[in-house]
């Protein structure tokens, strides 16, 4: 099933079909624990020390139950939120960890005459690799769901430059040409899937023609 998930990811679009992505399937438990611990440590630093509790409560204000809110905050500030990345059975860890790396110099790399120039006619757009990689991972997450698997995208272990370097070294990624940007864990969900937190509707996130002009559902006045 891992093969099918990755195969689905490969059908994501990319500029000039350059497919500037690589997936590392992490099944070595020592490596997975290393990456998972990095996520836990960064979460403690980010939510347990750097973010005021009032801000956490504001961000999680959609949780109406006070008990649930307190439990969620405790999971964040303790780092327990990302223990699952380690893959340890006692914390209901995910058995498979996929690490996505993208080619930061991918523009022009499919054309031999431009290889290594970092762009076409002076243009350099590494952001296209990040966009394509993100779409690839979305494909993979959707494919996992269709196959009856649980999945979760994470990046907290790759948000700090030092951690990117450490993970690249551990996985022997040729950084900085290639850079890891996202992780996807796979396994079987512990609980039944839900719709998750409330979502904003199209009327709240879309504008018509110009920023600020309300967009309404067709036929609705």
CATH number of the domain that residue 92 is part of: 3.40.109.10
Virtual torsion, Cα 6, 159, 148, 24, nearest 10 deg: 30
Residue 216 located in a structural domain: no
Give the pLDDT of residue 80.
94
Residue-by-residue DSSP string for 31-88:
HHHHHHHHHHHHHIIIIIIIS-HHHHHHHTTT---HHHHHHHHHHHHTSGGGGGGG--
Residue 220 located in a structural domain: no
Give the pLDDT of residue 193.
72
Residue 123 located in a structural domain: yes
Give the pLDDT of residue 111.
47
Give the pLDDT of residue 188.
92
Domain residues for the domain of 178 are 2-205
Which ranges of 60-213 would DSSP assign to H, the alpha helix?
Answer: 66-77, 127-146, 161-171, 202-205
Give the pLDDT of residue 187.
94
Residue 213 located in a structural domain: no
Q: Looking at the 3D structure of the chain, how many domains does it have?
A: 1
Residue 212 located in a structural domain: no
122/118 Cα distance (integer angstroms): 8
The reply to whether the predicted model has a pTM over 0.85 is yes
Residue 219 located in a structural domain: no
82/36 Cα distance (integer angstroms): 7
Residue 217 located in a structural domain: no
Residue 7 located in a structural domain: yes
Q: 152: which residues sit within 8 A by CB, 6+ positions away?
A: 84, 94, 184, 185
Averaged pLDDT in 10-residue chunks for the chain of 221 residues: 97 90 96 96 93 94 93 95 92 93 71 45 68 96 95 92 95 95 93 80 94 84 55
Closest of 128, 149, 190 to residue 5, by C-alpha: 149
């Amino acid at each position: 099933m891992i093969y099918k998930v990755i195969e689905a990811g490969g059908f994501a679009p990319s500029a000039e079909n350059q497919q500037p992505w690589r997936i590392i399937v992490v099944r070595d438990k020592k490596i997975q624990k290393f990456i998972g611990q990095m996520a836990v440590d960064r979460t403690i630093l980010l939510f347990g020390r750097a973010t005021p509790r009032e801000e956490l409560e504001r961000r999680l204000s959609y949780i109406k139950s006070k008990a649930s809110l307190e439990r969620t905050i405790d999971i964040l500030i303790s780092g327990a939120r990302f223990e699952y990345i380690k893959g340890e059975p006692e914390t209901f860890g995910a058995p498979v960890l996929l690490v996505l790396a993208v080619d930061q110099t991918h523009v022009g790399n499919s054309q031999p005459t431009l290889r290594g120039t970092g762009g076409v006619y002076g243009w350099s757009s590494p952001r296209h690799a990040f966009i394509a990689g993100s779409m690839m991972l979305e494909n993979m997450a959707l494919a996992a769901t269709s196959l009856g698997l649980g999945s979760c995208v994470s990046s907290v272990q790759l948000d700090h430059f030092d951690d990117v370097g450490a993970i690249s070294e551990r996985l022997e990624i040729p950084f900085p040409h290639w850079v890891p940007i996202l992780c996807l864990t796979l396994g079987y969900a512990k609980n039944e899937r839900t719709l998750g937190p409330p979502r904003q509707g199209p009327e709240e996130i879309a504008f018509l023609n110009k920023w600020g002009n309300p967009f309404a559902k067709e036929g609705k006045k």
